[in-house]
Chains A and B, each alone.
Chain A
Amino acid sequence: MGVRKAITGAQAAAEAMRQINPDVVVAYPITPQTPIVEEFAKYVADGIVDTEMVPVESEHSAMSATVGAETAGARAMSATSSQGLALMWEVVAATPGLRLPIVMSLVNRALSAPINIHCDHSDVMGVTTVGWIQIFSENAQEVYENTLLAIRVAEDNRVQLPVMVNQDGFITSHAVEPVEIFDDALVQKFVGVRSLDRALLDVEHAKSVGPLVLPNYYFEFKRAQEEAMSKVFEVYHEVGTELSAITGKQYPFFEAYRIDDAEAVVVVLNSAAGTAKAAVDAMRAQGKKVGLLKPILFRPFPYAEVREALKDIPVIGVLDRSMDFGACAPVYSEFRNALWELERRPAMQSYIYGLGGRDIMTTEIEAVFEELLSGKLDPEHQRYIGLRG
């Protein structure tokens, strides 16, 4: 048993970082990520952690310094949102190829323009192709546990890849909820220390990092990176089992909520999955057979497992909090891909919701379920929830 605290999603991320006690944290403030590093800076100032905290002049420098520290052999972390992620993109894209197991909190916020500080997923969906492991969190409790899980998955020798732990800006990052913080000693034993096997400062075993690699080998490097990504599933499962021993919880690739006999299922990420659970409960109370699939591990994407879980569902609606302009929305695309191999493919409908922090209500998700059950679908066009006429 841990200690229950009433804290925000941002504080939950900072609590995980406190227990991880990284060697280096580098960040630049940006709403709504700021309270994570603000809280963590207090731990540094109070001597609660041993971390070297480096304030820098931009997010590009933040990720550059995180990469430098991690290359040297340190355990380094960062946190950002939206435009901050956009500014550090060059270095973010380099990190997986450098095989650096950096863990970064991403507090999801809409990308400009127009400028907006509120939640959507346009920031993270712009970096899903560059090779970071992506984990999503429904609430502050999941933020905390996913951050602990992420460190071990990232640093496993079979993986050595960076992880982004996502939470919804404001909705999760600034909302106070009960969070169970598990015993420091148990968690610290679980997270351990980073192996120095690949440390650049290990001069006894000199090596090069980040060399120029021309057409003769670049392709092989990238193929090796894909191989590492494919190992994430087994590592995630193993590490999750270990973490279960402390938390008593399960760490699946996705959460299937009341889908066993469901006639319609909604797929949605992060905090809206909680709201969708409330909608499922309300519909079930009326005898309507509906359920939810909440993706957690989004990169790598668990195609086979998703296919198995949804193989008997006749209708599926996928809710995206970002758009891929002129193409299918990102979460919808993955689920369509995953279900292609089925002999009896379900009917599917793509929905866009919540851009720039537009609220998503239980009643709106109930209306989606009604629409899915009615069969009045239009797979050629995405629909919009809560959009003003």
Chain B
Amino acid sequence: MKEVYEVRMHGRAGQGAKSGSQLLAEAAFKEGKYIQSFPEYGSERRGAPTVSYTKIADKVLKSHEPIVTPDVVMVLDFGIMRSVLVAAGLPDTGILIVNTKVCSAEIKKLAQFNGTLYGVDATGISLELLGMDTPNVPMLGALVKLTGVVKMESLEDVLRAHFLSKIGEEKVQKNISMLHRGYEEVFK
């Protein structure tokens, strides 16, 4: 058992890899864990590849290094796999979750990963419920289903705390629905 549970999120700027990783960290923090969440910054502009890290542990996290051997990798845009080796450092026993409608042979080939690949149509869910492509929230639902690293209620609380004043109750409810749809609809 690793002392630190490590999740790496790859996406494109604007898709919410940074906030997704922070929401996850805050949910774990609510459950009494020690956490770190930080993105890798470049010259950010919408559409550029981004990566964000979440570390969760029962002990104080001393190191500030980026994640090189993740337990889980989440890919918010499968197209990123054409230019970024998303599975780098992910052991075959690890979990790779990709935002995709199907785990096609092409997707599997792009991922360059020998372990089990999971898919969830996070963009479809998000467009259907919110009318916007914000795949990070359904992806977090899928993560909870596959790993149980945090409780769904903790993520719901964190979503509410972050967004209620900004987007109102109706949209918060939609985000919570997106979280649950991701949980239910993740597939191999």
Contacts and interface: CB of A to CB of B under 8 A. Distances in A.
Contact of A174 (B39, B43, B66): B39
Nearest to A278: B63
Q: Interface centre among B25, B34, B36, by most A CB within 10 Å?
A: B36
B61 interface: yes
B170 interface: no
Nearest to A169: B41
Given A6-B25, A6-B26, A6-B29, A176 B65 contact: no
Contacts of A290: none
A361 B68 contact: yes
Contacts of B62: 274-275, 277-278, 281
A274 B29 contact: no
Given A275-B64, A275-B65, A171 B35 contact: no
Contacts of A361: 65, 68
Interface string B84-97: 00000000000000
Contacts of B41: 32, 117-118, 170, 174
Interface string B58-88: 0001111110100000000000000000000
A176 to B, nearest CB: 4
A172 B35 contact: no
A300 interface: no
A175 B65 contact: no
Nearest to B65: A361
Contacts of B175: none
A271 B62 CA distance: 9
Interface in B22-66: 22, 25-26, 29, 34-39, 41, 43, 61-66
Contacts of B37: 6, 175-176
How many A residues touch the partner, as a band?
20 to 34
B64 A175 contact: yes
B81 to A, nearest CB: 22
Interface string B2-39: 00000000000000000000100110010000111111
Nearest to B26: A6
Contacts of A172: 64
Nearest to A172: B64
Interface in A94-115: none
Nearest to B158: A6
A278 B4 CA distance: 12
A362 interface: yes
Contacts of B61: 177
Given A117-B41, A178-B34, 18 more contacts: A4-B29, A6-B26, A6-B37, A32-B41, A170-B38, A170-B41, A172-B64, A174-B41, A175-B37, A176-B37, A178-B35, A274-B63, A278-B62, A359-B65, A359-B66, A361-B68, A362-B63, A362-B65
Interface of B: 22, 25-26, 29, 34-39, 41, 43, 61-66, 68
Q: Which 4 A-B pairs have the closest CB atoms?
A: A175-B38, A278-B63, A176-B37, A277-B62
19 contacts: A6-B37, A32-B41, A170-B38, A174-B39, A175-B37, A176-B22, A176-B26, A176-B36, A176-B37, A177-B36, A271-B64, A274-B63, A274-B64, A275-B65, A277-B62, A277-B63, A278-B63, A278-B65, A360-B65
